[in-house]
């Protein structure tokens, strides 16, 4: 009799733990729908991947990163300076290969300094005008929500599962253990009922 009473909480804990392990597994598996007589089962993530992709894409663009944020990050004096500096390096390299060696180095320096000055004067305004005047066009052509959605839909389900498991390993493990703990508590309550109200 005592052995049976001791086994009840142990079995209940095992069932609770196993149930939660299976439930978490069903978030990801099976990847393809499986027909079980009257039920058709498929993992939540594979079944709803497209819906999840749409929701995450909308959330990213609406809450985290819009194309306006990207444009504003690019259209700064610091970024203009970096672009100008890079253009200067490219043009200097090109001019060194194009300008004949018979031209004095002072003349080359004057030409390169003039180009550098022109670039410093013109490029920031050009970038600013291009980004600001074409902001609506850029918004239409580069839709971050669609980019995110496409990337998530292209994700291999095994990789997606791996990412979700890495990010939420502690929480998923906690859910599994809590299934065992709740099963144990329910088992102890059953034992208490059997002791208080024997059959």
For 2-8, which contacts have Cβ atoms below 8 Å and span 24 or more sequence positions? Answer: 5/191, 5/194, 5/195, 8/187, 8/190, 8/191, 8/194
- What's the pLDDT score for residue 13? 93
- What's the pLDDT score for residue 105? 77
- What's the pLDDT score for residue 141? 83
Residue 35: strand pairing partners: 40
- What's the pLDDT score for residue 16? 93
Q: Are 128 and 72 in contact (CB under 8 A)?
A: no
- The alpha-helical segments, DSSP class H, found in the chain are 2-28, 44-47, 49-59, 67-74, 77-98, 105-133, 135-141, 144-154, 157-167, 169-196
Residue 28's domain comprises 2-196
- What's the pLDDT score for residue 19? 93
Q: Are 112 and 92 in contact (CB under 8 A)?
A: yes
- What's the pLDDT score for residue 20? 92
- What's the pLDDT score for residue 180? 93
Tens place of pLDDT per residue across the chain (199 aa): 677 778 888 999 999 999 999 998 888 888 888 888 888 888 888 888 889 889 988 888 888 888 888 888 888 888 888 888 888 888 888 877 777 667 777 877 888 888 888 888 888 888 888 888 888 888 888 888 888 889 888 888 888 788 888 888 899 999 999 999 999 999 999 888 888 887 6
Number of independent structural domains in the chain: 1
What is the separation of C-alpha 152 from the centre of its chain, rounded to a whole number of angstroms?
8
Other CB atoms closer than 10 Å to residue 77's CB: what's the count? Answer: 9
Q: Are 26 and 44 in contact (CB under 8 A)?
A: yes
CA distance 40 to 36: 6
Helix, strand or coil for residue 63? helix
């Amino acid at each position: 009799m005592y052995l049976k009473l001791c086994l009840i909480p142990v079995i209940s804990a095992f069932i609770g733990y196993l149930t939660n392990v299976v439930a978490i597994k069903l978030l990801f598996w099976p990847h393809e729908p499986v027909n079980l007589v009257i039920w058709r089962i498929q993992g939540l993530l594979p079944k709803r991947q497209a819906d999840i992709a749409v929701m995450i894409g909308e959330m990213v663009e609406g809450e985290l990163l819009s194309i306006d944020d990207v444009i504003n990050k690019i259209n700064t004096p610091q970024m203009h300076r970096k672009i100008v500096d890079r253009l200067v390096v490219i043009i200097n390299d090109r001019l060194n290969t194009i300008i004949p060696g018979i031209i004095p180095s002072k003349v080359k320096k004057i030409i390169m300094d003039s180009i550098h000055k022109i670039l410093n004067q013109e490029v920031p305004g050009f970038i600013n005008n291009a980004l600001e005047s074409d902001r609506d066009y850029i918004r239409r052509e580069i839709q971050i929500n669609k980019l995110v959605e496409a990337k998530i839909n292209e994700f291999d389900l095994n990789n997606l599962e791996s990412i979700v498991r890495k990010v939420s390993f502690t929480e998923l493990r906690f859910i599994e253990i809590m299934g065992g703990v709740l099963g144990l508590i329910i088992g102890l309550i059953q034992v208490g009922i059997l002791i208080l109200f024997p059959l």
